[in-house]
Amino acid sequence: MPRPRKCRRVCQMPRTGGFRPVFTEETGEAVLQDEEETINLTVDEYEAIRLIDREGLSQEECSAYMQVARTTAQLIYNSARKKLADALVMGLPLRIQGGNYRICDGSNARRDCDGCRRRLGTCVLLKQKEDGNMRIAIPLDENKEDVCIVLGRAPYFLFRENGEDTILENPAAQSEGGAGLQAAQFLIDNGTDVLVTVRCGQNAGDVFREAGIKIYKSANKAAADDLAALEAGTLGELTQFHGGFHGVK
């Protein structure tokens, strides 16, 4: 029986779920290739690129951070560089998803994790709060009252905690690509414990699950009605997540 593969540790999910070419030499316009032509960069491969090429870690330091053998880190890194080269040279879309990984819980004390957002307290995994208060988030339409059916590009988010409501603009609403992942990170950064939404993409759903955020399916037009239903225990959990390509247009 083969040994189970050890999950590679990554700091947090990528801010963008993928990229696509802006134009081709022949037409000067963007071309959307077939699904099978898309190159898939796994989340652990992305992390190796981030640590080595952006943060300047050695492969040995990278392997220690990701908690894998040095040879494994080298294989991950080499695979990632090959995929990036193919995407750039051949002009193919690049998707970032999947892989064998786990999100860092912020307990690492190595110097290369000193800036981790979890250790700085701006991105924490959901834990049972001592005071029992939960922070609930709901995407809002322009009228700031109805639930927006699109999570990533919702104009606003309503946050309710301890009976008080706060409405914040969604910084991901006007992003060129990866709005779902950016919105997910925004919700995590704002301490969300529970999300109520009409629908959610698979990549964003993975981020919420890693952060321990409970997701419920909206059943009402008005956000106030969903909040009342959640309090009454009549909202069901969201179990179906849609796919989709999060690229840069």
pLDDT in tens, the chain (249 residues): 344 456 788 887 887 888 888 766 665 555 555 556 889 999 999 999 999 998 888 888 888 888 888 888 999 999 999 999 999 998 899 999 888 888 876 655 444 454 454 443 323 333 334 345 789 999 999 999 999 999 999 999 999 988 889 999 999 998 877 888 889 999 998 889 999 999 998 888 888 888 889 999 999 999 999 999 988 888 888 888 876 544 433
User: Inter-axis angle of helices 70-90 and 59-66, to 10 degrees?
Assistant: 110
Let me know how many helices (H) and strands (E) the chain has, helices first. 6, 10
CB distance 87 to 93 below 8 Å: yes
Q: Which CATH number fits domain 8-113: 3.30.70, 3.40.50, 1.20.140, 1.10.10?
A: 1.20.140
First to last CA, the chain: 45
Sequence spans of domains, the chain: 8-113, 135-232
**Which amino acid appears at position 71 of this protein?**
T
Tokens 């220690």, residue?
64
Q: What is the CATH number of domain 135-232?
A: 3.30.420.130
